[in-house]
Amino acid sequence: MVMKMFSLTQRKNVSASVPVLRLLRVVTTQIQMHRSRQALKHLDTHLLKDIGLTEFEAASESQRQIWS
């Protein structure tokens, strides 16, 4: 009986943590996107050309908010 109660509690905790894990994944993704956009500001013109961006496009992208 004790074993059964423990496993039910354990399952409940796992299902309760799923929304938290989703939120953590969204926040982590947004932070990575922000860092990538900020890194564009420091790339030389020839490196921007390699990835198919102009200086204007890189500047515009680096100024975007994380939710856009």
The answer to whether residue 46 scores a pLDDT higher than 70 is yes
> When comparing pLDDT for 11 and 63, which is higher?
63
pLDDT grade for 11, boundaries at 50, 70 and 90: low
Predicted confidence at residue 63, as pLDDT, reads 92
24 Ramachandran zone, left/alpha/beta (phi>0; psi -120 to 50):
alpha
Asked if residue 8 is part of any domain, the answer here is: no
Q: Does 10 reside within a domain?
A: no
In a domain, 47, yes or no: yes
- CA distances 49 to 38, 44, 45, 62, Å, are 17, 9, 6, 16
Does the predicted model carry a pTM greater than 0.95? no
**Residue 52 covered by a domain:** yes
Query: How many domains, the chain?
Result: 1
Q: Is residue 4 part of a domain?
A: no
Range of the domain at 51: 17-63
Q: What percent of the chain has pLDDT over 90?
A: 68
- Asked if residue 57 belongs to a domain, the reply is yes
pLDDT at residue 10 is higher than 60:
no
